[in-house]
Amino acid sequence: MPETLHLPHGSLELPEFLPDATKGLVRTIDSADLEGAGVQGLVINTFHLMQNPGSSTIQALGGLHAMTGWPGPILTDSGGFQIYSLIRQNPKYGSLTSKGALFRPDGGGRKFNLTPEKSIQLQIGYGSDLLFCLDDCTHVDDPYPTQVESVERTIAWARRCKSEFKRLLTEKSVPPEARPLLFAVIQGGGYPELRRRCASTLLEIGFDGYGYGGWPLDTQGHLLVDLLGFTRSLVPAELPMHALGVAHPANVLACARLGYALADGAMPTRDARHARLYRFNLDPADPAARLSGEWFSFIYILDDKHVKVDQPISPYCDCLLCTRYSTGYLHHLFKIGDSLAQRLATIHNLRFMAQLTAHLRLIK
């Protein structure tokens, strides 16, 4: 993988994990907290923003960077995952045609139409640094005909996304240094020949990078390591790949070892809000530390054993929580349900992820 990804609002050192700021924020913390935790970039969700606050409001507020007070790189997903999570799971939430996706997010009268062109227009309008082509996401266990349809649609939509992307950059006379990147997503479910067909056609069309598409876990919740590895092997090593939705620390490590430059997800921040904190069992700043076996653990901070612990959560962590407050104090904050508990825990788990990827860059 490349060492660095240069984007209009800064560079990402690779590999890197990016937290999901789904609706334009990482819940419970602000952009200064994100910087303090060493976060390099965010992934924001096109589909959610299109509904609320809506693209005209985002543009009136100066685009995503000005609106969120986040000066660094912002990646926007295309809305493709919502095709999977809403429409493919339950047809009352919309329908899919060759033109695009029609969402009925409440299952009723409210309608949103998302075409490949519209997805690119929205992402460019938001001021995104890295855009994804609209894709048709599936589950690995979906049947073969569904996977064939998804690959054909994903390729056709990627072609349309690229031409709309080029058209808009020309129309807006975007200078080279301000040009965002465009990634396409490789679908194909669990069928290697479909993955190969999807990857080779997308490579012929030509994109700045590629995403592993489809739900990355099997029904038991295990990472689809072989499939992720195979899909990575279909794309030249010098082109960056993003493992979409991969966020468990062990899975982020596994994907980086497979050659994925980027991963993103909501798990570390969701876990933090639910009192689940991550802790290294070894010093991640030590290049000789081997991340194998039990290299990290989960702490459930509401357990009674933490009541009187006067030490920080982790001796290896330099986050706001660990440098200033004890484990027992965080337990108390969670126990009384104060929002400070969630903020401090979220900062800590994001710092853990940043330390993890810093370690991976150290040993690369």
Binder to Zn ion among 131, 133, 319, 354 (CB under 5 A)?
Answer: 319
Torsion angle defined by CA atoms of residues 144, 146, 152 and 157, in that order, rounded to the nearest 10 degrees: -150
Q: Respond yes or no: is residue 33 known to be catalytic.
A: no
How many residues bind Zn ion, per CB under 5 A?
5
CB of 164 to Zn ion, least distance (A): 43
Residue 21 or 317 having the CB closest to Zn ion: 317
235 touches Zn ion by CB under 5 A: no
Q: State the alpha helices, DSSP H only, in 62-143.
A: 63-68, 80-82, 116-126
Could you tell me if 357 and 16 are in contact, meaning their C-beta atoms sit under 8 angstroms apart? yes
241 touches Zn ion by CB under 5 A: no
Stretch that binds Zn ion, among 13-21, 214-222, 278-286, 316-324 (CB under 5 A): 316-324
Which amino acid does the sequence have at 50?
M
CB of 301 to Zn ion, least distance (A): 12
262 touches Zn ion by CB under 5 A: no
Binder to Zn ion among 321, 333, 350, 353 (CB under 5 A)?
Answer: 321
Stretch that binds Zn ion, among 28-36, 38-46, 122-130, 315-323 (CB under 5 A): 315-323
Q: Which residues pair with 358 in a beta bridge?
A: none
CB of 171 to Zn ion, least distance (A): 46
Residue 205 or 358 having the CB closest to Zn ion: 358
Classify 42 as helix, strand or coil.
strand
Q: Of 20, 77, 129, 136, which one is the catalytic site residue?
A: 77
Q: Respond yes or no: is residue 106 known to be catalytic.
A: no
- Over the window 339 to 358, marking each residue x when it contacts Zn ion by CB under 5 A and - when it does not, the resulting string is ---------x----------
Q: Please, which contacts does 276-283 make with residues 24 or more away whose CB atoms are closer than 8 Å?
A: 276/300, 276/301, 277/301, 277/313, 277/345, 277/348, 277/349, 277/352, 278/249, 278/348, 278/349, 278/352, 278/353, 279/313, 279/314, 279/317, 279/352, 280/314, 280/316, 280/317, 280/352, 280/355, 282/316, 283/316
CB of 39 to Zn ion, least distance (A): 14
d(CA 117, CA 137): 17
Which amino acid does the sequence have at 161?
C
Residue 25 or 320 having the CB closest to Zn ion: 320
Burial class of residue 137 in the structure, from the number of CB atoms within 10 Å of its CB (0-12 exposed, 13-18 middle, 19+ buried): buried
Could you tell me if 301 and 277 are in contact, meaning their C-beta atoms sit under 8 angstroms apart? yes
Q: Which residues pair with 4 in a beta bridge?
A: 13
322 touches Zn ion by CB under 5 A: yes
CB of 356 to Zn ion, least distance (A): 13
CB of 347 to Zn ion, least distance (A): 7
d(CA 24, CA 57): 13
Residue 76 or 355 having the CB closest to Zn ion: 355
Classify 298 as helix, strand or coil.
strand
Stretch that binds Zn ion, among 107-115, 203-211, 249-257, 314-322 (CB under 5 A): 314-322
Stretch that binds Zn ion, among 37-45, 165-173, 205-213, 321-329 (CB under 5 A): 321-329
CB of 13 to Zn ion, least distance (A): 20
In order of 126, 221, 260, 350, the CA distances from 363 in angstroms are: 36, 28, 15, 20
317 touches Zn ion by CB under 5 A: yes
Q: Which residues are catalytic?
A: 77, 264
Per CB under 5 A, residues contacting Zn ion are 317, 319, 321-322, 348
